[in-house]
Amino acid sequence: MTKNDPLQIQDFLPYLLNRAAETTSLDFQKTYKDRYGMLRTEWRVLFHLGRYGGLTAKQICSMADLHKTKVSRAVSALERQRFLVRTEVPTDRRNELLSLTKQGQAAFDHLQQEATRYNENLLTTFTAEEQEILRRCLKKMARIP
């Protein structure tokens, strides 16, 4: 690709990233949508709570780079389905500590396994070096430290 060739769409990274993200997300969605009735954001919140334990909505917002309204609604949905509970933090009653119920933990355990399997399966087509580079480049573009 010389500098003056017109840009191919498949070389435009936001486009490529969106397509890869959609393809893989829709694939993996099969794992949780029907069985647990979760949306993508809910799965993402569940994953954070399962992986990192009790968190406040604010913490999830910044860790997952999600807007607070999206998190607020995902938390409500997960609460409604009894996957998590809120507990007041007495020292600052603006915060609510979110933690998984037994049922939420079970769902997380299962989905984490599936996620691991999906991920490993996806990565098998790449060499170790490619995996390493891919991860590093994606993190940089997503501005994840």
- Among 63, 24, 20, which Cα is nearest to 44's? 63
Residue 122 binding partner per list DNA, its own copies, none, with a CB distance cut-off of 5 to 8 Å that depends on partner kind: its own copies
What element of type H or E holds 86? strand 84-88
> CA angle, 61 as apex, 110 and 85 as ends, to 5°?
55
Residue 105 binding its own copies, by CB under 8 A: no
DSSP structure class, residue 12: -
Residue 62 binding its own copies, by CB under 8 A: no
Q: Of 54-62, 73-81, 98-106, 130-138, which segment contacts its own copies by CB under 8 A?
A: 130-138
Sheet holding 55-56, edge to edge: 55-56, 96-100, 84-88
Which CB, 80 or 142, lies closer to its own copies?
A: 142
| List 3, 93, 102, 143, residue binding DNA (CB under 7 A) | 93
Which CB, 79 or 131, lies closer to DNA?
A: 79
Answer for the pair 71, 86: CB distance below 8 angstroms, yes or no.
no
Residue 32 binding its own copies, by CB under 8 A: no
Answer for the pair 28, 115: CB distance below 8 angstroms, yes or no.
yes
Which CB, 68 or 140, lies closer to DNA?
A: 68
d(CA 23, CA 19): 6
Six token digits for residue 80:
């409604």
Residue 89 binding its own copies, by CB under 8 A: no
Tell me which residues touch DNA (CB under 7 A): 39-41, 56-58, 61, 67-73, 75-76, 91-96
Tell me which residues touch its own copies (CB under 8 A): 6-25, 27-28, 44, 47-48, 51, 64-65, 112, 115-116, 118-119, 122-123, 125-126, 129-130, 133-144
